[in-house]
Structure 1
Amino acid sequence: MGRSLLGRYQHLALVPAIVVLLAVGAAVSPIFLTADNLVAVLQQQSELSLLVLGEALILIAGKMDLSLESTIGIAPALAIALVIPAGSNGLGVELGAWTAIPVCLLVGALVGAVNGLLVLRLGLSGFMVTLGMLTLLRGLQEALTKGQTLFDVPESFLYLGAATWLGLPAAVWVCALLFAAGIWALGYLRQGRALYAVGGNKEAARAAGIRVDRVVWVVLVIGGVLAAVAGILMTGRLGTVAVTQGDGMIFKVFAAAVIGGISLQGGRGTLVGALFGVLLLGLVENILRLLSVSGFYINASYGAVIIVALVVTRFATGKAQE
């Protein structure tokens, strides 16, 4: 009974951990609890949170998508390359600037759709397909940009990266609204609850009349679109699209999802827990940077967080994640 309760409320266990981190941060730096610093943490984690949202939905449905890391780069890069002139490392197509965001979202949806086609229609391993897609998209981005950073970012991208709504960055509001929509969908929509059924027991879900392949395909497309939105926010915040945009983010995505209680086996976890996982990682990173800790050790901390979370999950639920 005790283990069952711990497993059920695992995501809430992060709340005291976050409170502890706030206290530690206040002790190590006088600027940690300032409004400017905390808002900066929220904005910097906005792109990661959208990748975690997409990955969490996919994991709950019993699949995984490693290519989200590359989609956050290739989607805005291709959209911008189609808009800017060849002299600015564009493709020379010079579409209207208004098309940049729709094209970016379309690229994200297309990546998710292709992943779904290969996994569901051809029966290929989701892990290997999305790993291959990650590498393919990274190479395409390097070829597309000729290894150069794209600077001529459309105003629509820059607006979302710089605008402030009701005292908070627009990116923070976008993430909050999308997480709220996801939480509501999983809790109150039949299609949202179907994700848990599919991830928990695919055959039982089919027997209950759920169109399993359609559910998985749709959630993969949604994941790709969310990665594209994350790419828009990151590009707007930085004002550029670097060749390495998104590189290495998938490790942080899985770290946040796992410590937030999302099961790698499917069918378990909450988006609230995933969001707490993002906040915890953001606070840890911020504290380490304020302490001038080397970035190498910060990267190592993500791996440590995943291992600790797996150990905690093992003892909390009595089950190991595979």
Structure 2
Amino acid sequence: MTTSVEGAKAGPATQPEPPQPTAWAMIRNSTALRELSLLPAIFVVMVLGFILSPQFLTVNNLLNNVLVNSAVLGVVVVAESIILISGYFDLSLESIVGFIPMIAAWLSVPSALGGLGIELPAVATIAIGFVIAGLIGLLNGYLVAKLKLNAFMVTLAMLIFLRGITMGVSAGQTLSGLPTPLLWLGRTSILGISVQVWLFVLIFALAWLIMRNHPIGRRLYAMGGNEAAAEAAGIRTTRMTIAVFVTGALIAAFAGFMLTGRIASATSNQGDGLIFTVFAAAVIGGISLNGGKGSMIGAFLGVIILGMVDNILTLSRVPSYWVQATYGFIILAALVVNRFASQREHRRSV
């Protein structure tokens, strides 16, 4: 007599399904939310600005003061952010902002106004300026990528070198009476808004699209995260590094022409000290100084915050030397916040 046992042949054991993340966890960990994490800070700054000066929240002030004054800074921040994400940094961008427009002005204005006296067409001098900027970036990139020199020392030396040439060419003077093409970026408006604001937003949007969606952007993030691994994966890191420095120099030169157009002159100290504010905006926006992390949207919001803080201090008649102290405090606070945020993300991923 046979005895049957029900369920003697049991099926394969099923693995329990991993718990699904909650909707709030998905929102909290989303890239978009991290990129927009500065929005609450911007709201707080706007409220404080309105309390300190009701004029702060007027459309005229926000468009013609905050955004226009932030445009040049923002364009240079784009250049520096791309370089930082790639794993390097370039201190010489601030000198390029002053050196390239000075060369263009020097070649185009008459000797009576401090120029060389050959009075080349302004369009030609602008083109020459961009060629020189490209060569500066090429030299920086070659020294860093091919000769493996320290990026800090290379770009610091280039900063000092270009600043000295700018002072020598101009004899420490301001060149004015510039031809119209050199002033176009400061005198043109579209729909009643300065072209500098449109360029500021457009350049950030293009940089965001490239860094977020284009293969070049993904390669730059990979190179900044781990250059050896990126090279092993087939990324030509040497070529990419040189290209990044050239791109940064060209963008900085464009920012220099924007600044020259706005102030209608080329000054011997143009751009001096700008790099500190550039790093401040990038760090506040979450760009990692170690490379491979950060977003262009975050950098954009960092520029907006600094622009608003500067405008609030100006409207409140705070002495200019306190502005630098404020920027230093903001940088330290941003570094601390980013450090704790990185540690929290690391614990959550373990």
Question: What RMSD in Å do the two structures reach over aligned CA positions?
Answer: 1.8
Is 2:122–2:182's contact at 8 Å kept on the other side of the alignment? no
Structure ranking higher on relative contact order (CA contacts 8 Å, 6+ apart): 1
Return the letter of the residue paired with 1:14. L
Q: Say which SS state the counterpart of residue 264 (structure 1) adopts.
A: coil
Aligned pair 1:193/2:218, yes or no? yes
Supply the distance in 2 between the matched residues of 1:158 and 1:127 (Cα, whole angstroms): 33
Aligned pair 1:219/2:244, yes or no? yes
Kindly report structure 1 stretches of 4+ aligned residues shifted beyond 4 Å.
Answer: 5-10
Return the letter of the residue paired with 2:123. W
Paired residue for 1:18? 42
For structure 1, list consecutive stretches of 5 or more residues without a partner in the other structure.
Answer: none
Cα deviation, residue 181, structure 1: 1.0
Match of 1:181 among 206, 209, 212: 206
Figure out how many residues of one structure are paired with residues of the other and give that number. Answer: 319
Cα deviation, residue 84, structure 1: 1.3
Larger Rg: 2
Aligned pair 1:154/2:149, yes or no? no
Return the letter of the residue paired with 2:61. N
Cα deviation, residue 93, structure 1: 2.6
Mapping 1:108-187, distance limit 5 Å: 108-187=133-212
Is 1:100–1:154's contact at 8 Å kept on the other side of the alignment? no
Supply the distance in 2 between the matched residues of 1:204 and 1:194 (Cα, whole angstroms): 11
Match of 1:263 among 259, 284, 288: 288
Supply the distance in 1 between the matched residues of 2:39 and 2:264 (Cα, whole angstroms): 34
Supply the distance in 2 between the matched residues of 1:311 and 1:119 (Cα, whole angstroms): 29
Cα deviation, residue 6, structure 1: 7.2
Return the letter of the residue paired with 2:214. L
Cα distance change of structure 1 residues 207 and 25 upon mapping to structure 2, 3 Å threshold: same
Paired residue for 2:55? 31
Q: Say which SS state the counterpart of residue 38 (structure 2) adopts.
A: helix
Cα deviation, residue 82, structure 1: 1.0
TM-score computed with the length of structure 2 as normaliser = 0.88
% of aligned pairs identical?
A: 45
Supply the distance in 2 between the matched residues of 1:180 and 1:44 (Cα, whole angstroms): 18
Return the letter of the residue paired with 2:336. V
Per-residue CA deviation, residues 76-120 of structure 1 (Å, 9 max, x unaligned), is 000111111222211223211221322222222221111111112
Per-residue CA deviation, residues 203-245 of structure 1 (Å, 9 max, x unaligned), is 1111111100111111111110111111011000001111111
For structure 2, list consecutive stretches of 5 or more residues without a partner in the other structure.
Answer: 1-20, 345-350
TM-score computed with the length of structure 1 as normaliser = 0.95
